[in-house]
Amino acid sequence: MEPLTASALRGVWATVLLPLRDDESIDLDVIASALDHVLASGVQGVYTNGTAGEFHTLTEAEYDRLHALVADRCAAAGVPFQLGASHPSGQLSLDRIARAAALRPGAIQVVLPDWLPLSEEEVLAAVDRMAAVADGVPLVLYNPPYAKTQVPPELFGKLADEIPALVGAKVPGGDDAWYARMADAVGGRLAIFVAGHTLASGYARGAAGAYSNVACLSPGGAARWYAQITTDLPAALALEERLRGFLDAHIAPLGRAGYSDPALDKTLAAIGGWAPIGTRVRWPHRWVPPEVIPALRAVAEAAVPELFDDFTHPAPTSRKAGAV
C-alpha cells in the first residue's frame, strides 16, 4: 500500500491477536477468520506484532507466516495495514524490519533495542538505522511504559527533526501538561497514538488515534466510537467515562493481580466474543480463566452497550476518512 504520512495516520487501528492451541502453537485459521471480522468492522486499519500480538514470543518462522497472511488479506480487502517489526534485540529488529518492508505495509512499528537503557544519541542512531533498513516504508516508534528507554516529548521532537521517515508515536498519552509538551516538541510532524480507551479525551487534546484496546473488545464498536469522536465529541466523552468505569472496576484489578497486558487484551476480546481467540497467552504468562468471561460480558454490555457488535447502529462511514 501507499506509505502513510503523519497527517494520513488517524483513527482506530486493531491488533492481530494470537489464538493459541493447548501446545501454544498459533492457530492461523482462527487468525484468518478473526482478521476477516476486523477487516469488515470499519476500523481505519490493522496492525501486527504489538505487545498484544505477543511479539516478544514469536519465532522468526512464526513471524514470517503470520505477516505473509496478514499482508495478503489486508491488501486483498483494501484495508490499510501496519506491520510491527519489534524485537527486544536491535539486530533482530533490523532483520524483521527488512522482511516487513518487503510486504509494503503503510508503516512499520518498531521499539528501541531493549536490554540496556539508551542515551539520546543512541536513540537517534537506533531509529536512523531502522529507517534506512525500512527502505522507504515509514516508521512508527512504539514506546510503552515498560520500555527500558523512555522517550520524552522533546526527544520525539528531535527524532522528528532528524528522521523524516518517522511518522508516528505509539505511547500511552498523559495529562494536559504532557499533551502540551508533545504539541510544542512535535507540532504535527508525528501522528500521536494513545491508549485506546482514552481516545475521545486524547483526540480533544491533539491525539490522532489509538492502537486500541477498545478494538480488542469490539472492532466494530471501536470504529463507531471513533466516528462519534469526530462528529459528536461530547457524546463520545460520555461513552469514555462509562468505558473507563468498566475498565477501572473489572479489568484493572486483573492487572493488579499480575495478569500481563496481552492477557488483558485477550480477556477483552473474549468479553466481546467476536472471534474464538481465547484468553490463553504464551509462556511464562498466566491467562484469565475463561469461566469468568460471561459475568464480565454482562457487566460490559450494561456499561457500554453501543460497543457491542450486535447493538444496531448506522454502519460506520469513516474508514477511508483518514486513510491513504
Provide the binding-site residues for ligand SLB, judged by CB under 6 A.
15, 50-53, 144, 170-172, 195-197, 210-213, 216, 261, 265
Closest distance of CB 312 from ligand SLB, Å? 26
* Buried/exposed code over 9-42 (b: 16+ C-beta within 10 A; e: otherwise): bbbbbbbbbbbbeeeeebbeebbeebbeebbebb
* 284 exposure class (CB count in 10 Å sphere: 0-12, 13-18, 19+): exposed
C-beta nearest to ligand SLB: residue? 50
Host H or E run for residue 246 = helix 233-246
Closest distance of CB 124 from ligand SLB, Å? 21
Distance CA 99, CA 133 (A): 10
Opening angle at CA 190, ends 184 and 192, nearest 5: 85
Closest distance of CB 261 from ligand SLB, Å? 5
211: helix, coil or strand?
strand
Backbone phi, then psi, for 187, in 5-degree steps? 50, 50
Given 47, 170, 179, 226, the catalytic residue: 170
Nearer residue to ligand SLB within complex by CB, 47 or 308: 47
Given 142, 203, 226, 259, the catalytic residue: 142
Backbone phi, then psi, for 140, in 5-degree steps? -120, 125
Distance CA 132, CA 125 (A): 11
Closest distance of CB 62 from ligand SLB, Å? 16
Closest distance of CB 75 from ligand SLB, Å? 21
Closest distance of CB 68 from ligand SLB, Å? 20
47 is catalytic: no
53: helix, coil or strand?
coil
Distance CA 183, CA 188 (A): 7
Backbone phi, then psi, for 100, in 5-degree steps? -65, -40
Q: Any idea what DSSP says for residue 26? A: B
Q: Which three cell numbers stand for residue 57?
A: 514470543
Distance CA 297, CA 288 (A): 14
SS3 per-residue string spanning 93-143: HHHHHHHHHHCCCCEEEECCCCCCCCCHHHHHHHHHHHHHHCCCCCEEEEC
Nearer residue to ligand SLB within complex by CB, 37 or 135: 37
Closest distance of CB 193 from ligand SLB, Å? 7
170 is catalytic: yes
Active site residues: 142, 170
